[in-house]
Structure 1
Amino acid sequence: MTSNRFLRAASRTFTAGAAALLIGAATVPSLVTPAAAADGPASVADLAQGLLGAVVNISTSQRVKGTEGPGAVPMPQLPEGSPFQ
């Protein structure tokens, strides 16, 4: 009877230890990731300066006649110069 009680206690202790180990191991990546991200450049200005000639702005405009009728959704009124105009 005593050995059975001992085995249950040992099993609970082992299970609790294994759970604590898994939880501890799961938190390690969250502690390491910010340090790895800090290795990057503080600014991308140098990279952008080198690629400035490759930046292209394409603008189009088109008028499309919308659907009419009882189920039609009205178009919102957008301010002048808005990207969705």
Structure 2
Amino acid sequence: MTSNTILRAARRTFIAGAAALLVSAVAVPSFTAPTFAADGPASVADLAQGLLGAVVNISTSQTVKGTEGPGAVPMPQLPEG
């Protein structure tokens, strides 16, 4: 074999190896198993009990008339309560 033939064979082997490495590097991540979220608590009762004092009820006892005039946006009619 001449040195030119050996050089071509070596180049072809190198390119084939590089292509195989590239294909395997791209293909491997697509076959990995998905990761799942960590398990949370079985119940949120303890959390709700701790936050119970933070729950508030805001209500009004006065009806305010909206402004009138050109460009005024009418307020939506909501039920009392």
Question: Shorter-chain TM-score: what band?
Answer: 0.3 to 0.5
Report the TM-score, using the length of structure 1 for normalisation: 0.46
Report the TM-score, using the length of structure 2 for normalisation: 0.47
Indicate the structure (1 or 2) with the bigger Cα radius of gyration. Answer: 2
- Pick the structure with more helix per residue: 1
RCO greater where, 1 or 2, for CA within 8 Å and sep 6 or more? Answer: 2
